[in-house]
Amino acid sequence: MNSPGPTDVPRSPFCGGKQPLFLTALAFGCGILAARFVFHPSNAWLIAALLVVACAIGLRKSPTVAFAGMMLSAAMAGGLAHELRGPEGVDYPQAMSDGECTVTAHVVRDGVLQRGMFGGQQQSVDLETERVQLADGSGFGRPVGLRLSVYARKSDYEDEEQQQAGVLPMPVLRYGQRVRLTAKLHEARNYKNPGAWDYRGYLRAQGIELLGNARVSSVEVLPGFGGSRWKQSQHRARAAVLAKIHEIWPAEQAALFDAIVIGERSELGSELKTSFQSTGTFHILVVSGMNVGILAFGFFWLFRRIRMGDVVATICTLASSFAYAWLTDLGSPILRAVWTLTIYLLARLLFRQSSRLNAIGVAALVILAWSPDALFDASFQLTFLSVAVIAGVVVPWIERTSDPYRKALQNLNIVRADRGYRPQQQQFRLDLRMIGGRLARVLPHRIVRPMLTTPFRVTFAAYELLLVSLLMEFTLALPMAVYFHRVTLMAPVANALVVPLTGVLMPACAAAVLLGFVWLRLARLPAMVALWSLKAITGAVAVLGHLRVSTGRVATPSLVVALSAAVAIALAMLLARRRCWLAAVGSLAIIASGAAVLFIVPQPQHKSGALEVTAIDVGQGDSLLLVYPNGQSMLLDSGGPLGGSHSDFDVGEQVTSPYLWARGINRLDVVAYSHPHSDHMGSMATIIRNFRPRELWLGFAPPVRDVENVLQAAREEHVTVRFFRTGDQFGFGGANVRVLLPLRDQEPHMPPKDDDVLVLKIAYGKTSALLIGDSHKKEERELIDLAPEADLLKVAHHGSNTSSSPEFLAAVHPKFGVISVGARNSFKHPRPEVLERLASFGVQTYRTDMAGATTFYLDGTNVSVVRR
């Protein structure tokens, strides 16, 4: 009997339990999910796991039943691991938030200079506390992770020139330095909206429990050293690599090399990040499995070229990869990638080439057993979903299509080697030799073979890269829609260009940095290659990113669409090694499910026959979602940075938009801002680009930066701009809209003030809402003469005492009031006297800092309240 040829395809990877470890990892993950959403005591999970194992052993004569029992025991073990994990947080004394604390701590992550809230610089640094003295004299001495922002005031600068330059008057704090400082501390807080990002969990994963702000003049550097010398050497090595990168390349390119090679993105601009996000290539700016894989391949190739054996080359490659992970100091994501690589290379070394999914399963089991919460981390899900589909779907498809022909290009001149191939490949080799023989009559023999094989090798490589990119785009459509609400239609093309270039850039950059430590001139050649690769990457991203079809934003997919995508991926993996047409059906199922995620628009959540007014928790700012009785939607104010700050945190992108997407809203009908202050409309340009509204309603549009950004976004998205004044009245969405301010003859202030306000009264049936922005008592007096009676009042100016006068409240006579306000804000809003005044008028008042997103339904007769 002939031995199987290179194109023989084995049976289904799941047939007969051929991938038990992969299935075990899936079962373990299911157990974690069950424990997360259906709580049971840890001893119950342990007892259940032991019982299932006992049953499986007792039924070992039936392999199918025993295997099912082992999968159940793995699920129980996953539930047990979840229940046994450490506590999620610690309760801190209330006195900590009541005033300033004296903190003694040491630096655990080097400080990073950032743009301050009101211009200038501030320093963000991670500390580990040694002692915290509270305002009431109590305190605690346990080590706690603290992320501190150090800022400066005018009196902290030595001279006016330094102040105008905005340079923070203190050096960057380095790992191990001990400091004493006075700071206001508080626990991290998530925005209380459906769909909100788990900021507390994000910080906790980095070991941060508390946040704080300290004035630079209060920071005192103490003698001594805190922390570990090992970590100090790690930080010094990282700083040395970053310094060498900036020594070799110009600043603009060095910032990109920092991100791609070492994971330092602090110097990247928001526009550049957006360009990479819109083309689906942002992953190259995040040190991840791809970076580790490229460098590991480069190291392994180098070690084999210098005649190392397979075992020694593997060990040296793993050592180099762990050194790289140590250097980047990026925590769990990079360590997951290195451990996955380790298991894969060890499996390869033990001649387990056919067990790619088993290797992935082992890696997942190790990570989930160590940290069950990793299952809910977006990077974990993206990483393992990618490698599982590549190993379980893409590789089998390549093995039956291009791979046999690519292998057939080897030893083309050896005729007896044809016997090891299928008839199709034998004919392919015969045809190439025939063409080569004719070319050899007119061309030198040494160039004939490269002329024949190189075009095919390039074609096969391009086909495989496009196949991987295409299937990855549709496979990751679901998690990308859930976590990032982004469609990257140009991602397959962009990645087909960018990934090979990154494969050149990473080794070249590593070589340039290593040689730069020896002699800078030696680094010139690899530095030039890396720079050319980088320019090609940024050029491709710039061209593709400016195409209007390159990206889009999508609401959270429906449960049916999400389940369909999961079933399609499982089906594709089951069919991947069966007959060719079945494998094709599986791949098409992935594409169809991904297309459904991208193009099937979820039904927006709204209550028919009622006017909805929802106050969204955007911190110390305003944002109201109005859904009219016929389903049309309007966003009044977007939230934004306080006081026109220059923070890279975009409230519209990170807070307001996720809430709207969680509600199934893909497009708004109208957006408006009450007045041109950044905490109300600083993120409106983002909202316009994300939700492409049909109309923009304004009172004033003074020539200031934020307003110009909004108008520019409106022009780009072809939004109709409408201006309103007192007396304008019209029907919209089944309700009546009446404009009370600004007055007809009113002129805007420069710079804009709270007085420049657009006040709307929206009525449905016998119920109405009065939305008055940051109106002060002057505007309230004007409103008293305009019949402002309403059931629901958006309390002005975040509950400041500049508003909500007794005369105004008597004229409006609201039943309900809502205050949009930030927790622990420095203005001490809402003022106690305002809350007392509202209560004295019988107003049921809700606050976004306490209740989060709060919805009011006006059904034409009554008003009902729902806390989101």
**Would you state the pLDDT for residue 510?**
92
Q: Find the helix or strand (DSSP H, E) in which 737 lies.
A: strand 735-741
The pLDDT-based confidence of 706 (bands split at 50, 70, 90) is very high
Distance CA 331, CA 287 (A): 11
Report whether pLDDT(456) > 70. yes
Measured distance CA(634)–CA(706) in Å, rounded: 20
pLDDT for 4: 41
- Do residues 102 and 180 lie in contact, with contact meaning Cβ atoms separated by under 8 Å? yes
Q: For position 554, what pLDDT does the model report?
A: 92
83 neighbors 44 (Cβ within 8 angstroms): no
Residue pLDDT, tens place only, 320-347: 999 998 888 766 678 778 888 888 888 7
Stated length of the chain: 868
Give the start-end residues of each E strand in 10-144: 101-115, 121-133, 139-140
pLDDT at residue 7, as a whole number: 42
Strand partners, 737: 730, 762
Task: Report d(CA 186, CA 179) in Å as an integer.
Answer: 19
The encoded tokens of residue 487 equal 């469609």
Instruction: Check if the beta carbon of residue 302 is closer than 8 Å to that of residue 253.
Output: no
Cis peptide before 751 (omega within 30 of 0): yes
State CA 720 to chain mean position distance. Answer: 32
pLDDT in tens, 69-80: 778 888 888 888
CA distance 330 to 337: 11
With a CB cutoff of 8 Å and minimum separation 6, the contacts of 300 are 313, 314, 317
Q: Calculate mean pLDDT across residues 705-730.
A: 96
β 145-151/210-215 pair status: parallel
Q: Do domains 94-227 and 611-867 have the same CATH topology?
A: no
pLDDT score of 95 = 58
CATH 3.90.730.10 fits domain 94-227: no
Nearest to 660 by CA among 755, 583, 555: 555
Q: Which amino acid is at 273?
A: K
pLDDT single digits (tens) 114-159: 766 555 678 899 999 999 998 777 888 889 999 999 988 777 766 6
CB-side neighbour CA atoms (13 Å) of 639: 26
Topology annotation, domain 611-867 = Metallo-beta-lactamase; Chain A (3.60.15)
Is the pLDDT confidence value at 13 over 70?
Answer: no
For residue 434, the 8-state DSSP code is H
User: How many Å apart are CA 622 and CA 619, to the nearest integer?
Assistant: 8
Angle at which helices 705-716 and 684-691 cross, to 10°: 10
pLDDT, residue 59, reads 62
Where are the chain's structural domains?
A: 15-84, 94-227, 255-553, 559-599, 611-867
**Which has the minimum average pLDDT: 239-248, 512-521, 745-754, 757-766?**
745-754
pTM assigned to the model: 0.88
Tell me which residue of 179, 213, 171, 207 sits closest to 106, measured CA to CA: 179
What pLDDT digit, counting tens, does each position of 593-610 carry? 999 998 888 888 888 899
